[in-house]
Amino acid sequence: MEELPSETPIDPREFRIVRLGVDPWPEVLRRFFDRQDEEDRSGYFLGEALLSELKWVDVAEYYGLFRPKGPGLVGFLGAWFVDGEAEIHHIFLDPSWRRKGLGKAFLRRFMEYAAKRRVVSLYLEVRRSSHIARSLYRRLGFVETGERKNYYSCPLEDAILMGCRLPEERAAPSADGVSLTMEGSLHEGFDAGKSLRTGEPRILR
Ligand SMILES: CC(C)(COP(=O)(O)OP(=O)(O)OC[C@H]1O[C@@H](n2cnc3c(N)ncnc32)[C@H](O)[C@@H]1OP(=O)(O)O)[C@@H](O)C(=O)NCCC(=O)NCCS
């Protein structure tokens, strides 16, 4: 896979966000999984069970981060929406594309989208050892709310539960939750901190 040298600045205009639920994307995602190493495939559940979630369009939304000029799909994010809550099930970038600001921009775009969908609470679980992911979540206003002992297998590890309350003023009263989509350019969400105010993190109960 093409890898940019770390000193090469990322141009967010080169990235698009695509909904992964319809052809050809499930197959593209399958091939993306095949390119990942075994440790990541098992540690982040990159397999058939996840691919089957793409069909549960009533609750599950999966989005890919796509770079048309190469190498194609560089990562994905998936969440379940239930009433005013959403649970982020996955956020994963190809290792070649990590630590360049993409994960933060992608998640920020998702949070803006979720707020427009009138989501007020976001939840997720993360491995205790995933320090970069935990730091990313804290940067965007998530707080740690609990833990589950030995929750993950392969390898066995505790889960840290995290939550974030989205600012309610972002949930536009006229927003049509059905027709909204997160698809589009990553560009809009790239400049951290300017377009989304998560407010003071609050402990979720
Ligand atoms: C977690 C993940 C999506 C983050 O995406 P990323 O593009 O690598 O992260 P970014 O470059 O956008 O950095 C976002 C934040 O992560 C943290 N971070 C990044 N690199 C870090 C490092 N070397 N050490 C500590 N924290 C780091 C920082 O808080 C950073 O925010 P900042 O730049 O404002 O300081 C990505 O690393 C990934 O796919 N990891 C493997 C899968 C995973 O762990 N998923 C989470 C499962 S719940």
Widest pairwise Cα distance in the chain:
45
204 is a domain residue:
no
pLDDT of residue 196: 44
pLDDT of residue 57: 84
Distances (CA, A) of 14 to 21, 59, 165: 22, 29, 30
pLDDT of residue 201: 38
**101 CA to centre of ligand 1 in angstroms:** 8
Domain enclosing residue 158, as ranges: 12-172+179-189
Count the domains in the chain: 1
CA geometry: angle 127, 21, 198, nearest 5 deg: 50
pLDDT of residue 189: 64
- Nearest alpha carbon, ligand 1 atom 1: 133
Give the mutation target among 87, 89, 99 for probing the ligand 1 site: most ligand atoms within 8 A of CB: 99
- Nearest alpha carbon, ligand 1 atom 20: 99
Banded pLDDT at 171 (limits 50, 70, 90): very low
Three-class SS state of 128: coil
Q: How many Å separate Cα 131 from the centre of its chain?
A: 16
CATH number at residue 26: 3.40.630.30
Residues forming a β-bridge with 88: 79, 124
Instruction: Judge contact between 140 and 91, C-beta under 8 A.
Output: no
**49 CA to centre of ligand 1 in angstroms:** 25
112 is a domain residue:
yes
